[in-house]
Every structure is written in structure tokens, then in C-alpha cells.
Amino acid sequence: MKLKKSVAISENGFVFNASRGDSFSTNPTGTRILDWLREGKTDTEMKTLLLEKYEIDEATCEKDLYDFIKMLNQQNLIEA
């Protein structure tokens, strides 16, 4: 899965979907996940990176990551 090319992300977490005109803000972790999606990282790679960076258990990390990806999908920001 990858972030759609029509999605712009600012350094401070402002996200704009040019194809729909929608925008929202995300926290630094969300911004980093969006960057990883743009780079083509897999779910497993992103989970590993999050576990290395934050003191979080694997189950919580996985749930939060998949919830965020689900929200991105609902907002039509990612493609398979």
C-alpha cells in the first residue's frame, strides 16, 4: 500500500488531499507513518520502526497502526 500522489504533507502534520480538497492534521507519529507509506514501507516494517522508537507493547502498536491505516483508507489517502 502507498500514499496517493495527490496527498501533500507538511512538516508540521498538515495533510491535504488535492483530489478531494480534504485536509486534516496529524501528530508527529502520524506524519512519520505517512512518510513511510510514501516510501513504500510495509506494515511489518512500520511496526518494527515504531517499536524501536517508542516504549509500547507490540499488540498496542499493531492496533494503533492498523487503526490509523484504516482511517487513511476511509479518507481515500492510500492505494493498494
pLDDT in tens, 32-79: 999 999 999 999 999 999 999 999 999 999 999 999 999 999 988 998
∠ CA 39-44-49, nearest 5°, is 70
pTM across the whole model:
0.88
- Cell numbers for 12, please give them: 508540521
> What is the model's pLDDT at position 11?
87
> What is the model's pLDDT at position 80?
72
Averaged pLDDT for residues 23-32: 93
> What is the model's pLDDT at position 1?
85
Q: Which residues contact 14 (CB under 8 A, 6 or more apart)?
A: 23, 24, 25
